[in-house]
Amino acid sequence: MPGFGTLVDAAATIIGGLIGLTFGKRLTARYQETMLSACGLSIIFIGIGGVMAGMLGLKDGSFVAGGSVMLASSLVLGAFIGEAVNIEKHMTRFGEWLKAKTGSHGEEGFVSAFVNASLVVSIGAMAVLGPLNEGLYGDSSVLFAKSILDLILVLLMTLTHGKGCLFSFIPILIVQGLVTLLAGLIRPVMTAEAISALSLVGSVLIAALGINMVWDKHIRVSNLFPSVIVAVIWAFIAASF
């Protein structure tokens, strides 16, 4: 059934959030602080791993790096577009609306938790490749694998960030659902090179989220989101020459 893998992924995210919410209430501030750092470090190195996989290759027995021009250009142009549209502002408004509708007025970090968790589960090649495979070939295996990863990540984030992380299932349903429905139109654009470029830039954004968590920075990762679209367009145009 088209969309089944996305439903499983969304359900896994909810389960992870509920487990994290249940046990997070039992943790003292000291435990939460340390586990927040651990979660942030995990996300940083997941991002770094994706970056290294995308940039490093073997040539004549030596490691060589590639994709640096595409990466830098995509991030800079994507940042310009993201700031012009101010994606973070719109996500924050939606988070505030969710906070009000769910009676979470006492949750101080609800909005940032929702935004951060939403980005973690929505950025990356699996969030595109999974729905594409399901929409075109009825293959949900990538989304099933992603659901396990998302369950663990959202569980860990909810332990330290709170209730807002649980609602990251909403962008999963929207983004992956749309990709599944539009799979036939998207597939010609999502070549192997485009998937690789998306994964590389997406991994940088995931690492940036981890940096925000560990060092209490405020890199506006939401406003960098157009970078992944720019990377796909770059790869598509490059393949035409």
pLDDT at position 29: 78
Q: Give residue-wise pLDDT tens across range 224-237.
A: 989 999 999 999 88
Say if residue 174 is exposed, middle or buried (CB neighbours under 10 Å; 0-12, 13-18, 19+): middle
- Residue 32, pLDDT above cutoff 80: no
Average pLDDT on 41-48 reads: 88
- Residue 25, pLDDT above cutoff 80: no
Average pLDDT taken over every residue of the chain: 87
Contact 116, 154 (CB under 8 A): no
Average pLDDT on 26-51 reads: 83
Three-point CA angle 14, 15, 21, nearest 5°: 85
Say if residue 82 is exposed, middle or buried (CB neighbours under 10 Å; 0-12, 13-18, 19+): buried
pLDDT at position 10: 95
Cα(45)–Cα(39) distance, integer angstroms: 10
Alpha carbon 143 to its chain centroid, in Å, reads 14
pLDDT at position 36: 79
3-state SS track over the chain: CCCHHHHHHHHHHHHHHHHHHHHHCCCCHHHHHHHHHHHHHHHHHHHHHHHHHHHEEEECCEEEECCHHHHHHHHHHHHHHHHHHCHHHHHHHHHHHHHHHCCCCCCCCHHHHHHHHHHHHHCCCHHHHHHHHHHHHCCCHHHHHHHHHHHHHHHHHHHHHCHHHHHHHHHHHHHHHHHHHCHHHHCCCCCHHHHHHHHHHHHHHHHHHHHHHHHCCCCCHHHHCHHHHHHHHHHHHHCCC
Q: Give residue-wise pLDDT tens across range 192-235.
A: 888 889 889 989 998 998 898 888 778 898 899 899 999 999 99
Bridge partners (DSSP) listed for residue 59: 62
The better pLDDT of the pair 118, 107 is held by 118
Q: Give residue-wise pLDDT tens across range 118-173.
A: 988 888 778 888 888 888 888 888 899 999 989 988 998 898 888 899 999 999 99
